Amino acid sequence: MTNTPLPRSLDPASGELLAGYLLRLAHRIGIPPLDLAHRCGLTAGTTFPTRHIIRVDDTRAQQTATVCRLGLPEVHALTLATQAPSYPPLHLVYLGRHQSHIDMANDGWVFTSFSRYCPDCLADTADLPGGSVWQGSWRLPHTFVCTRHHRLLDWRCPACQAPAFSNGYRADGRWRPTQLIPSPHSHLHPAQCRYRPGTGRDPACAHRLDHPSATGEGPTEAMVHAQHRLAAAARSGAGQDAESLGRPTSPQRFLNDIRATTLAICSTWPATAEVFTGAGHLDAVAAHAETLNRAPAERAGPQGDGWLARSVDHPPGDPLRAAALMALVVQILDDPGGQKVLAHVLSRLPSSRAGYRRLKRLAPHCSPGMNAAIGESSHLRHGTGVGPPSLFPQPPTHHGLLDPKKIPQIMPYAWAWPLDELDAPARQLRRDAAIRLVQMARGGSRAAAARYLGISPGALQSATVTIRAWQKVPGNAAAYQDALQRIAEIAASATGIEAPSSTRLTTADTG
């Protein structure tokens, strides 16, 4: 370790993180990043400790400032703690307990294993001295949209499919220990993938990540709004206010509400979806919730979204799933009536589950609106012996007339031909009609009817979102009503039971 300043240096770019800055500087002066880290006193070994992504202690910060010809505030500005001062999971004391940097990494709400990225942003800065700039905000779970280029962020290398800026997977599929800069001995442009395949002795992938790629559809308006809300809260200063569930609160408590609502959604899915049927990309939320709700043994290894599943409420690694989930969360918290929705959803959270214990730990640090929802959920949970009422129940209008055991997931054409007269997506309509028939025969919620038929939550939400949107067109709901009545009569007749024509559905039944 030496205090001798480098012969030349770089000015940090706006929003840049320490890892990206060291990459650019090492590339500019032509030395491996690890050698630069040794000179800055950031490590004495062969790896970069990930704790420097959160904050740098004063001694190392001063050493780095001297070697890199920077001011001390410039070094501290290269950390997440400075860039997101109001983001609670980055605080040394979080949820009433002191946490280490390892706790932060293992909690699942701070990205230290990989980074999302915008290839257009990397391309825009590729010709700067030292090369492309990696934004610090890309490491945080609430950053999933590049508002500058109006696109969802990427997160995997197109060539090797490893999560970007990660130390990657071992040959056996497990994560390698994370570090601030993967492949620290390599001479690479900052925009090149640093994943080492196999045992890690092979050269890094080195694919350029600054080649703009097609990412499919762009972010929805709700996703962009959620991105702005979350980023503004995380960057807010002392004394600033936020709003959650129609009540004023602090940005920190609003962000804790984000976590509590995420917990509510993922731990009780698809209860929330039964209420917010118009939310976008519910299939992406369902896919993430289904991953979290697997058996513990199935979640012990690496997940498809790039995480080791350490907590029941961690946000998705995949930017589309994260954007869909956070858009739904913010939609609930932006709604002054969202408290009642949350209360009903949280009342379904079993008190024996880890999620319930985590919610109790979160509650003292959440907003007044969230605590009111938690209190109401407890009242609902203990108010009756049978638990909370089913959301959107359907009375069994055809009980004893229809045999639910003979209703298939997707109805045969011999039953479903009345749907041909409707201008609607055929497959989703036939699936939705099957769910309706089970409700008519047994009563209960759509979710219960879908489970009875063996329809997955993702398929249920796909049908629900599509058909609910179609029914909003004037005349469609009434026409669907008539078609369902005829289908019920056909189904009853096919099973040897005649349904009386006087038994009718109401508009509320098909809503």
Spatial distance between the Cα atoms of 249 and 255, rounded to a whole number of angstroms: 10
| Distances from the Cα of 370 to the Cα of 222, 381, 387, angstroms | 21, 16, 21
Closest CA to 338 of 289, 272, 382, 432: 272
| Distances from the Cα of 490 to the Cα of 88, 188, 204, 486, angstroms | 58, 68, 64, 6
pLDDT tens by residue, the chain, 511 residues: 567 899 999 999 999 999 999 999 999 999 999 999 999 999 888 877 888 888 999 999 999 999 999 999 999 999 999 999 999 999 999 988 888 877 787 778 887 778 999 999 999 998 889 999 999 999 998 999 999 999 999 999 999 888 888 877 666 666 676 778 888 888 899 999 998 876 667 788 999 999 877 666 789 999 999 999 999 999 998 778 999 999 999 999 999 999 999 999 988 887 777 777 667 788 888 888 877 766 555 545 544 444 444 566 788 888 999 999 999 999 999 998 889 889 988 888 877 677 788 888 899 999 999 999 999 888 777 654 334 344 445 566 777 778 888 888 878 888 888 888 888 888 888 888 888 888 888 877 788 888 888 888 778 877 787 887 787 777 777 788 778 888 888 888 776 444 333 333 333 333 4
Residue 470 Ramachandran class (φ > 0 left, ψ -120 to 50 alpha, else beta): alpha
Spatial distance between the Cα atoms of 2 and 233, rounded to a whole number of angstroms: 40
| Distances from the Cα of 342 to the Cα of 36, 213, 398, angstroms | 50, 38, 32
Spatial distance between the Cα atoms of 510 and 505, rounded to a whole number of angstroms: 7
